[in-house]
Amino acid sequence: MPAIVGTVVAALVAATVAACAPDPPAPAAGAPPPTGGPAVAVTPYVDVSLPDPPLVAMADATGVDDAVLAFGLATDGTCAPAWGGTVAVDDPGITDQAAALRNRGGRLTVATGGASGDYLENTCDTASDLAGAYTRLLDATGATGLDVDVETDIPDETVVAALQQVQQQRGGHVSLTLQVADQHQGLEDQGLDLARAAAAAGLRFDVDALVMDFPPDGAWAQAMTDAVSATRAQVATISPMPGTAVTIMIGRTDTGPVTTLDDARTVARDVAAQGVRDLRFWSLGRDRGGCPGASEARPDCSGVAQQDFAFIETLRDAVRDAPTTGRNGS
């Protein structure tokens, strides 16, 4: 065959193959959108029930504009949500800052549950009522993500049904923040059961491992990374497999261990290498100095010597520079 004819035929064949090739798979519905930044997002929890949450100050100082707004709780034993159970969901001090972060391209998540207070999940009578409470939080802030932080007994079936309703009506990303038993087991049995039920029902979500409040076996940084590995092994047994996120507590923790800046850097590099989707921490209001050596955890400082926003900057830089295996799960 003459060379020029062969070249033309080869080009035609290549064009035909390309035209017939399937489109690349779209990202899973509900997954955070891909960005040009690190494969691992760094996302602080922000206790917006406290005065003057420093959302805009964080973005100005660090360039990080994602946040989890916490916690939506029941108001006076009713199904009406409020921040911390007391602050109106449309409080301008919160919604104005939320809008400022969204305008910067920030990804906002609203969280319910937490360590204390009256859960909406245990107050709303039906899945539809609970979905309505979730929707009020999302609408007030313009958030696209919804996180349920489970640290007490909840009605799994009702919660999963409510999350499905919200996801079907408006899309968006869902995460279930679940307690870790210890660094060897990973998630507590109750949380793992909830994750299995959610996956079986068809919910698209991440499992967010609450890597805190457990007794460490050895060094604290190693205990946290071991807990992440154990959790990821559990998540891998769920079908369809959720994505994985991790939440740490910076500085002085509630149960004694102290997460130092070096510990945070170690965990960030490890979770990036493991393919974790999102690295979160409790909390933005604590990411400041002012109480080094504090014997108990405080809401307004970390308990270690640091500059303001030192933890978020450390985590940001560590995940940016770490080798990654790519996002796992959904």
Confidence of residue 324 (pLDDT cuts 50, 70, 90): low
Confidence of residue 323 (pLDDT cuts 50, 70, 90): confident
Element (H, E) at 263: helix 261-274
Query: Residue 101 pLDDT > 50, yes or no?
Result: yes
Query: Residue 9 pLDDT > 80, yes or no?
Result: no
> Residue 152 half-sphere exposure, CB side, CA atoms within 13 Å?
11
Confidence of residue 38 (pLDDT cuts 50, 70, 90): low
Specify the amino acid at residue 164: Q
> Residue 131 half-sphere exposure, CB side, CA atoms within 13 Å?
17
Domain parsing of the chain, residue ranges: 37-321
* Among candidate residues 307, 314, 215, the one with its CA nearest the CA of residue 257: 215
CATH 3.90.1640.30 assigned to domain 37-321? The reply is no
User: At which residue do the structure tokens 């560590």 appear?
Assistant: 318
The string of pLDDT tens digits covering residues 22-34 is: 333 333 333 343 4
Query: Residue 98 pLDDT > 80, yes or no?
Result: yes
The string of pLDDT tens digits covering residues 165-179 is: 999 999 999 999 999
For 129-136, what is the mean pLDDT? 99
For 43-50, what is the mean pLDDT? 99
Under DSSP, is residue 73 helix (H, G, I), strand (E, B) or coil? strand
Give the pLDDT score at 39: 83
